[in-house]
């Protein structure tokens, strides 16, 4: 059933599809020339989830079957049903039962993961049948590392699916042996010590699960480490640690036990009763307990593993940190939070658009974007002035004079993120959008508040709290402070022209600063503006002449300062900052072309002959010895045969114009022309053999063919091919890539990486889009339904439209030029893109693709911003199974994917199919994308009930029914359109373009800047920062490198061969005399030693830490200093 869409939406999709088909036609024509491994375009398009699963699993007819099942049941149930049907032989044809069962389990996972991730193929390496001790047959599922990308639910349901298949096919449950149980316990604990697990299970939990789980959870070895206790077990093939079992048991079955239970109950399975014990035993800590005292509990988990150079912006819930504001701007939500661009600037540019922050709540991390409708930071200058900053320019101007950042400003977090993380609400501050609703309850009149006098008057007249704009941070004061301040001002202050003048005195000055009242200090006198003087006097119960209205009122005030103030001024004064969000910098934002290491222009092997640069030019000038031909190298490539002329070759295109096919054979027995296993020795056959290649001749011919001269600096190939049939790319492609300075990725495509940030509405002006062009793209109306006439109007973003960085456009222009050259000079077809400047790229199609996934999403470029991040609709990100908490992924030009991608280039190893566009989703169906996106709220204003609920620490679910969410619009045209946002922003690219973390040079500089910023932030304890950096970054680095030095491998500088230990010959035996060197140098070991000791002392970290550093320093000395030569040191001559 096609998704319900409006006409305009349908037209949009049709437009994209038409353009896609146009591109595919061109690419197909090019492919038919036979220069590529396949004569067809190798990225099949898919219209829905079922299509994608069919493509990934390669089982014809699967899509139709899935659609049929999905009509009647939920996704989860459908996945199980499809699996059972496959195992029972209703769909697909298989070699044997084992293969059918394997396909069944994989398909279940594929359906569960929306047919996007590579987990079904890569994460389940095999499903096998094996025998219990009583002779019955059980099912073994082999999990591999990439199962992680499927997520906990799919991991757990994979096991359930296997059990479902087991029942349907009448197989026995797995009867585990005692030694195997203990093996699991040992292995998972060992895995935990090597790698990260979200949850550490207890021994008993592991035993309970593996003893009772009806299918055997197995895995292939993922780590080098071996178990030490339960080794060489008969039914466990490896002694090495199998990461997959740890992930599935700990993060899958245990953490998702309630979800699994739900399905087990529904399906009425027996043999899973033990899940109850797991659920009862391990209540994972999800959100705070509602019943506990209604107070915000600071959480410091986000500070763990602090890294040098990435500053802390606020310790947990500390005053001065980011003030929470509920709402969603058009560029926030979906694990993205907004702050004022001036806040970004004032914090020394450490935060830019797309920079990841690890946050205290609601989730673990969030990408940051500029939202200038929020309140900016408040700072104190060296001269004592306190300034509220509400624009970037001011921030830049005062930045050098800031002595303390008193307040970071607001951070906007949407309701949906609290819902998604199931995080109990923390109280909302009293904000304008709430105040208005309070007022609306009292009057229908239009009420304006433009001065403090009016604010108090309105409050008195209508009985509403004081307008937030005129409310200070009273909650950060004690009632004592309030009384003190009132008395001090009354006694020592004087008013001149309405402005309060107060002699500088430490406590009162500090109290005024905590309240965040703008102030000037001149001649040792604090001066407040007339407005602030009025508010302060009212709030403190003072008359305009500073006399006390009622001197007796100060005794017996409520212990909460804001209540005390309410009593003094006669109107209700609400909290302005009941919740502050601690934060520190996570990953910096990214916007960078994708290069392999080392960078590659063409997937063509040059072996040793290319030198360290893998240069084709070097290879074509290479000769092994005087007698060998120049430019002839020996590398392993796949043997191919031309069906037309019968010639053997290694190239895809035969000289005669034929399209060659690989020839398999057994390398040992010399038998040729058989696929599968060798009939003689039963080893798998392969087309790959060492062959002599005349690089020089090939290179010259290729240059000639595309009409280029060898005038680029270097053309880089690869050392060897790692694909199954070792198919080399045509050199012509490499030549044109080198000419245009673009680099190829392992699958033949050219990628550009960017941090993901969400956007639901854009302003044409901010993305460099003219009104005419916008209308051309189909944006005829703004979000309010008015015709688009001005570049300042706000438009609702179509779900597959994206906005890239200027740096991306520079690179993509080169990519397009390369593609045009390729079409024209290599394939002999007309140029397609013909782009010369950024604007020309607008309207062109791209493929968005995320790491660990195998399905690309079709996108359209509509504009560019100066930020180093990629703005796209949250649905676009969700279709790639990304959220925006600091994730990054890539785009490639559509034509590039269609022309140059080939399965034949993909590495033939675990994970090789990840990060490759095995299938392309043509249109986004919100139902079939990551469910996280369904929790995005799309309203223009949160209702008052919401704000009240936050004050009661309710769970987000409690107010779900009064909120407008994507989930409520699914299946209707409104799932694509009519989204709203609560807070606007004038420029989605405001603030610094790049984080200071990226622009600062050395680690020392970054560290210095980090600690310096910490010193200035009121919400940060810089001593704690220094200690954490030493403990979580420097000490592990020092210890790790010291260990690495003393157990290090060696490397040959000539051929790059690595040795586990130095060869006894001294020089490199492989290349015959190459100089061998250490891979870990003294400098790498000692680089953080001095700086660690220096900051340890400067910031006064605990002596335990200092002692650890001193001991390490001694170790380093002992290792790198000769005792003997020390004795002839200076002391001997004195």
Q: Which residues touch 965 (CB under 8 Å, ≥6 apart)?
A: 416, 419, 934, 935, 936, 937, 938
- Nearest distance, CB of residue 349 and another protein, angstroms: 33
Stretch that binds another protein, among 31-39, 550-558, 997-1005, 1108-1116 (CB under 8 A): 1108-1116
Our CA angle for 333, 337, 343, nearest 5°, is: 150
- Nearest distance, CB of residue 1089 and another protein, angstroms: 14
Among 40, 1077, 1090, 1100, binds another protein (CB under 8 A): 1077
Closer of 1064 and 1134 to another protein (Cβ)? 1064
For residues 976 and 5, the answer to whether their CB atoms sit within 8 Å is yes
- Nearest distance, CB of residue 191 and another protein, angstroms: 12
- Nearest distance, CB of residue 1065 and another protein, angstroms: 6
Closer of 450 and 1127 to another protein (Cβ)? 1127
- Nearest distance, CB of residue 653 and another protein, angstroms: 35
For residues 876 and 800, the answer to whether their CB atoms sit within 8 Å is yes
- Nearest distance, CB of residue 231 and another protein, angstroms: 8
Three-state DSSP state, 184: helix
Closer of 830 and 1073 to another protein (Cβ)? 1073
Closer of 186 and 385 to another protein (Cβ)? 186
For residues 966 and 975, the answer to whether their CB atoms sit within 8 Å is yes
For the segment 677-706, give every residue that binds another protein (CB under 8 A). Answer: 683
Among 74, 492, 834, 1107, binds another protein (CB under 8 A): 1107
Site string for another protein, 231-260 (x = CB under 8 A): xx----------------------------
Three-state DSSP state, 124: strand
Closest CA relative to residue 1113, chosen from 1053, 1039, 1051, 1049:
1039
What distance in Å separates the CA atoms of residue 111 and residue 107, rounded to the nearest whole number?
A: 6
Q: Is 597 in the site for another protein (CB under 8 A)?
A: no
For residues 56 and 856, the answer to whether their CB atoms sit within 8 Å is no
Closer of 232 and 559 to another protein (Cβ)? 232
Sort strands 752-758 and 869-872 into parallel, antiparallel or unpaired: parallel
- Nearest distance, CB of residue 779 and another protein, angstroms: 55
Which residues, listed in sequence order, are joined to residue 46 by a DSSP beta bridge? 921
The end-to-end CA distance of the chain, in Å, is: 93
Q: Scanning the structure block, which residue is given the tokens 């898919």?
A: 46
Stretch that binds another protein, among 331-339, 418-426, 928-936, 1120-1128 (CB under 8 A): 1120-1128
What distance in Å separates the CA atoms of residue 143 and residue 119, rounded to the nearest whole number?
A: 9
Stretch that binds another protein, among 513-521, 565-573, 831-839, 1112-1120 (CB under 8 A): 1112-1120
Q: In 491-643, which ranges are E strands?
A: 494-496, 499-503, 520-522, 525-527, 580-581, 583-585, 591-593, 632-638, 640-641
Closer of 182 and 820 to another protein (Cβ)? 182
Among 134, 676, 1122, 1134, binds another protein (CB under 8 A): 1122
Closer of 289 and 1046 to another protein (Cβ)? 1046
For the segment 188-227, give every residue that binds another protein (CB under 8 A). Answer: 189-190, 193, 226
Closer of 822 and 1027 to another protein (Cβ)? 1027
H or E element in which residue 1094 lies? helix 1089-1098
For residues 396 and 625, the answer to whether their CB atoms sit within 8 Å is no
- Nearest distance, CB of residue 156 and another protein, angstroms: 24
Taking phi first (over 0 means left), then psi (-120 to 50 degrees means alpha), and beta for anything else, what does residue 677 get?
A: beta
Q: Measuring CA to CA, how many Å separate 958 from each of 258, 293, 489, 843, 961?
A: 20, 18, 46, 43, 8
- Nearest distance, CB of residue 1033 and another protein, angstroms: 13
Burial 274-306 (b: 16+ CB within 10 A, else e): ebeebeeebeeeeebeeeeeeebeeeeebbeeb
Closer of 206 and 374 to another protein (Cβ)? 206
- Nearest distance, CB of residue 1105 and another protein, angstroms: 8
Q: Is 1120 in the site for another protein (CB under 8 A)?
A: yes
- Nearest distance, CB of residue 1084 and another protein, angstroms: 11
Q: How many residues bind another protein (CB under 8 A)?
A: 50
For residues 426 and 953, the answer to whether their CB atoms sit within 8 Å is yes
Both structure tokens of 848:
């968005």
- Nearest distance, CB of residue 1102 and another protein, angstroms: 9
Q: Scanning the structure block, which residue is given the tokens 């410091």?
A: 300
H or E element in which residue 336 lies? strand 336-339
Among 58, 229, 284, 697, binds another protein (CB under 8 A): 229
Q: Is 1129 in the site for another protein (CB under 8 A)?
A: no
- Nearest distance, CB of residue 1082 and another protein, angstroms: 6
For residues 768 and 866, the answer to whether their CB atoms sit within 8 Å is no
Among 692, 1078, 1098, 1128, binds another protein (CB under 8 A): 1078
Burial 251-260 (b: 16+ CB within 10 A, else e): bbbbbbbebb
- Helices 479-492, 530-540: axis angle to 10 degrees equals 120
Q: Is 185 in the site for another protein (CB under 8 A)?
A: yes
What distance in Å separates the CA atoms of residue 935 and residue 939, rounded to the nearest whole number?
A: 12
Q: Measuring CA to CA, how many Å separate 973 from each of 2, 589, 883, 936?
A: 11, 34, 23, 16
What letter would DSSP give residue 828? -
- Nearest distance, CB of residue 180 and another protein, angstroms: 15
- Nearest distance, CB of residue 200 and another protein, angstroms: 10
Site string for another protein, 628-667 (x = CB under 8 A): ----------------------------------------
Closer of 209 and 963 to another protein (Cβ)? 209
Taking phi first (over 0 means left), then psi (-120 to 50 degrees means alpha), and beta for anything else, what does residue 305 get?
A: left
- Nearest distance, CB of residue 1004 and another protein, angstroms: 23
- Nearest distance, CB of residue 1072 and another protein, angstroms: 10
What distance in Å separates the CA atoms of residue 618 and residue 613, rounded to the nearest whole number?
A: 9
- Nearest distance, CB of residue 665 and another protein, angstroms: 17
Stretch that binds another protein, among 419-427, 603-611, 647-655, 1099-1107 (CB under 8 A): 1099-1107
The DSSP annotation for 1007-1031 comes to HHHHHHHHHHBTT--HHHHHHHHII
Q: Is 496 in the site for another protein (CB under 8 A)?
A: no
Closer of 550 and 1118 to another protein (Cβ)? 1118
Q: Is 1111 in the site for another protein (CB under 8 A)?
A: yes
For the segment 1017-1076, give every residue that binds another protein (CB under 8 A). Answer: 1035-1036, 1039, 1042-1043, 1045-1050, 1060-1066, 1069, 1076
Closer of 187 and 932 to another protein (Cβ)? 187
Closer of 40 and 1082 to another protein (Cβ)? 1082
Our CA angle for 154, 122, 24, nearest 5°, is: 100
Q: Is 709 in the site for another protein (CB under 8 A)?
A: no
Residues that bind another protein (CB under 8 A): 182, 185-186, 189-190, 193, 226, 228-229, 231-232, 683, 1035-1036, 1039, 1042-1043, 1045-1050, 1060-1066, 1069, 1076-1078, 1082, 1103-1104, 1107-1108, 1111-1112, 1114-1115, 1118-1124
């Amino acid at each position: 059933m096609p998704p319900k869409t409006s006409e305009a939406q349908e037209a949009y999709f049709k437009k994209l599809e038409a353009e896609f088909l146009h591109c595919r036609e061109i690419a197909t024509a090019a492919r038919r020339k036979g220069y590529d491994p396949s004569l067809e375009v190798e990225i099949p398009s898919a219209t829905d989830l079922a299509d994608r699963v069919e493509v990934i699993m390669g089982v014809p007819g699967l899509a139709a079957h899935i659609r049929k099942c999905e009509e009647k049941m939920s996704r989860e149930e459908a996945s199980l049903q499809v699996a059972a049907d496959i195992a029972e032989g209703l769909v697909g044809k298989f070699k044997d039962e084992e293969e059918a069962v394997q396909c069944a389990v994989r398909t279940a996972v594929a359906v569960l993961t929306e047919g996007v991730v590579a987990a079904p193929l890569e994460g389940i390496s095999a499903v096998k049948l094996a025998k219990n001790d009583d002779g019955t047959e059980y099912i073994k599922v082999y999990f591999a590392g990439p199962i992680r990308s499927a997520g906990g639910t799919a991991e757990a349901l994979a096991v359930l699916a296997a059990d479902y298949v087991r029942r349907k096919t009448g197989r026995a449950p797995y009867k585990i042996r005692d030694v195997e149980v203990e093996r699991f316990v040992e292995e998972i604990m060992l895995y935990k010590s090597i790698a990260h697990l979200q949850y550490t299970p207890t021994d008993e939990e592991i035993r309970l699960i593996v003893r009772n789980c009806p299918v055997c959870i197995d895995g292939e070895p993922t780590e080098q480490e071996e178990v030490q206790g339960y080794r060489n077990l008969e039914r466990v093939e490896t002694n090495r640690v199998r990461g997959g079992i740890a992930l599935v048991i700990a993060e899958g079955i245990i953490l998702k036990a309630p979800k699994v239970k739900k399905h087990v109950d529904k399906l009425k399975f027996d043999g899973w009763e033990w899940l109850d014990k797991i659920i009862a035993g391990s209540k994972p800590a999800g959100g705070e307990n509602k019943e506990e005292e209604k107070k915000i509990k600071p959480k410091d988990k986000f500070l763990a593993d602090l890294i040098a150079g990435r500053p802390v912006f606020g310790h947990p819930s500390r005053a001065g940190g980011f003030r929470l504001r509920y709402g969603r701007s058009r560029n926030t939500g979906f694990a993205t939070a907004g702050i004022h661009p001036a806040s970004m600037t004032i914090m020394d540019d450490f935060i830019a658009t797309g920079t990841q922050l690890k946050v205290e709540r609601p989730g673990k991390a969030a990408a940051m974007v500029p939202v200038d409708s929020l309140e900016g930071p408040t700072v104190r200058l060296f001269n004592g002035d306190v300034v509220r900053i509400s624009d970037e320019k001011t921030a830049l101007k005062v930045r050098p004079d800031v002595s303390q950042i008193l307040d970071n400003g607001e951070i906007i977090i949407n309701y949906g993120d609290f819902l998604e993380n199931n995080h109990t609400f923390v109280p909302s501050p009293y904000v304008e959008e709430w105040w208005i609703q309070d007022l609306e309850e009292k009057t229908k009149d239009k009420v304006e508040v433009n001065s403090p006098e009016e604010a108090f008057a309105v409050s008195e007249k209508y009985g509403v709290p004081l307008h937030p704009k005129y409310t200070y941070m009273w909650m950060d004061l004690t009632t004592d402070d309030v009384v003190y301040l009132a008395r001090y001002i009354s006694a020592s202050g004087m008013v001149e022209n309405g402005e309060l003048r107060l002699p500088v005195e430490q406590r009162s000055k500090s109290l005024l600063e905590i309240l965040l009242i703008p102030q000037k200090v001149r001649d040792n006198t604090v001066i407040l503006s007339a407005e602030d003087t009025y508010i302060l006097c009212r709030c403190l119960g003072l008359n305009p002449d500073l006399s006390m209205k009622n001197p007796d009122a100060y005794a017996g005030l409520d212990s909460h300062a804001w209540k005390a103030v309410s009593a003094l001024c006669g109107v209700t004064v609400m909290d302005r900052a009941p919740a502050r969000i601690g934060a520190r910098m996570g990953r910096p934002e990214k916007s960078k072309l994708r290069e392999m290491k080392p960078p590659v222009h063409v997937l063509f092997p040059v072996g040793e002959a290319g030198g360290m640069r893998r240069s084709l030019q070097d290879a074509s000038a290479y000769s092994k010895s005087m007698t060998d031909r120049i430019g002839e190298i020996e590398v392993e490539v796949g043997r191919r045969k031309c069906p037309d002329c019968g010639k053997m070759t290694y190239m895809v295109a035969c000289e005669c114009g034929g399209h060659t096919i690989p020839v398999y054979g057994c390398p040992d027995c010399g038998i040729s022309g058989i696929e599968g296993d060798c009939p003689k020795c039963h080893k798998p056959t392969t087309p790959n053999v060492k062959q002599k290649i005349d690089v020089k001749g090939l290179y010259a011919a290729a240059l000639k063919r595309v009409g280029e001269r060898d005038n680029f600096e270097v053309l880089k190939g690869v050392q060897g091919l790692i694909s199954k049939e070792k198919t080399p790319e045509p050199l012509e492609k490499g030549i044109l890539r080198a000419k245009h300075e673009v680099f190829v990725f392992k699958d033949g495509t050219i990628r550009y990486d960017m941090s993901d940030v969400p956007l639901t509405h854009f302003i044409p002006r901010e993305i460099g889009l003219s009104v005419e062009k916008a209308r051309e793209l189909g944006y005829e109306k703004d979000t309010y339904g008015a015709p688009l006439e001005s570049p300042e109007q706000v438009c609702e973003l179509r779900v597959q439209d994206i906005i890239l960085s200027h740096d991306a456009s520079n690179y993509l222009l080169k990519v397009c030029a390369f593609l045009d050259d390729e079409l024209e000079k290599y394939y002999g077809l007309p140029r397609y893109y013909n782009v010369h400047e950024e604007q020309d790229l607008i309207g062109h199609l791209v493929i968005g693709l995320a790491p660990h996934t195998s399905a690309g999403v079709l996108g359209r470029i509509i504009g560019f911003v100066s930020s180093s991040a990629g703005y796209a609709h949250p649905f676009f990100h969700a279709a790639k199974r990304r959220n925006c908490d600091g994730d990054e992924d890539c785009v490639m030009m559509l034509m590039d994917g269609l022309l140059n991608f080939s399965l034949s280039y993909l590495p033939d190893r675990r994970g090789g199919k990840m990060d490759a566009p095995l299938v392309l989703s043509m249109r986004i169906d919100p139902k079939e994308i990551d469910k996280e996106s369904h929790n995005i709220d799309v309203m223009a204003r949160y209702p008052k009930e919401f704000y009240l609920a936050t004050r009661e620490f309710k769970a987000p679910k409690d107010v779900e029914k009064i909120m407008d969410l994507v989930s409520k619009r699914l299946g209707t045209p409104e799932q694509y359109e009519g989204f709203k946002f609560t807070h606007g922003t004038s420029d989605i690219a405001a603030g610094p373009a790049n984080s200071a973390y990226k622009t600062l040079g050395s680690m020392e500089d970054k560290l210095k800047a980090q600690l310096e910023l910490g010193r200035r932030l009121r919400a940060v304890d810089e001593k704690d920062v220094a200690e954490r950096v030493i403990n979580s970054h420097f000490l592990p680095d020092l210890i790790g490198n010291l260990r690495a030095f003393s157990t290090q491998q060696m490397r040959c500088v000539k051929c790059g061969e690595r040795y586990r230990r130095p060869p006894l010959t001294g020089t490199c035996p492989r290349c015959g005399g190459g100089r061998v060197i250490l891979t870990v140098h003294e400098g790498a070991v000692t680089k953080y030693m001095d700086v660690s000791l220096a900051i340890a002392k400067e910031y006064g970290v605990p002596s335990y830490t200092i002692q650890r550093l001193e001991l390490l320093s001694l170790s380093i000395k002992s290792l790198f200093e000769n005792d003997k030569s020390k004795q002839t040191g200076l002391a001997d001559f004195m």
